[in-house]
Amino acid sequence: MSVKFAPMTVNCVSYSEKEPAAKALLDACKGIKDRNSDLPAGEYMGFNMSLRYESFGSQINLLLRGVMTYQIDLGTDAFGNITRINNALDGLMKRLEGAREQLAGYEKQAAAAKEELEKPFPQEAELREKESRLAILNADLNIDDDGGQVAPREVTQPLALESDARA
């Protein structure tokens, strides 16, 4: 059982058959002259198509633009290109489902975090007690109003070294 081909517009011409559409897409690839911009190519399954030459890999890419843009590497086989496009579009449903599952996971995490925020801090009393003690210690350490710094003492006798003490 073969899948029915959805109509494709390439360079303002609508194709209802797979073979002429595939060949027209290959011909459109030959029209890429400017390597720094996209060449509008047509429309397929509700997506605007444009072509781009990537000089890094000497590759022609098809860009399918809807709400997001999807990039597909094109080859020299006309039917292979249509298969690549269809596979990419078929994969969108899997990506959407994966994104929905990921979103559900994030929503569960957010709900759990919200619940955790509502819980009282178990060591609240101990924290208050330690903060109070710290404030008292800081006040005691700053009693001389010089930030706790002790003035250096004058040395009246030279310190005896261990080697001098043994002799």
Radius of gyration of the chain (CA): 37
pLDDT digit string (tens) for 94-109? 888 999 999 999 999 9
The predicted pLDDT at position 133 comes to: 92
Place of tokens 């059982």: 1
The predicted pLDDT at position 150 comes to: 52
Report whether pLDDT(2) > 70.
no
The predicted pLDDT at position 1 comes to: 39
pLDDT digit string (tens) for 45-83? 989 999 988 777 678 888 999 888 889 898 888 889 899
Looking at the DSSP assignment, which residues form a beta bridge with residue 69?
Answer: 65
The predicted pLDDT at position 155 comes to: 46
Structure-block tokens of residue 106: 């994030």
Report whether pLDDT(122) > 70.
yes
Closest to 74 (Cα-Cα) out of 21, 22, 129: 22
Q: What percent of the chain has pLDDT over 70?
A: 80
Q: For the whole prediction, is pTM greater than 0.85?
A: no
The predicted pLDDT at position 124 comes to: 87
For residue 54, give the 3-state DSSP assignment: strand
Report whether pLDDT(35) > 80.
no
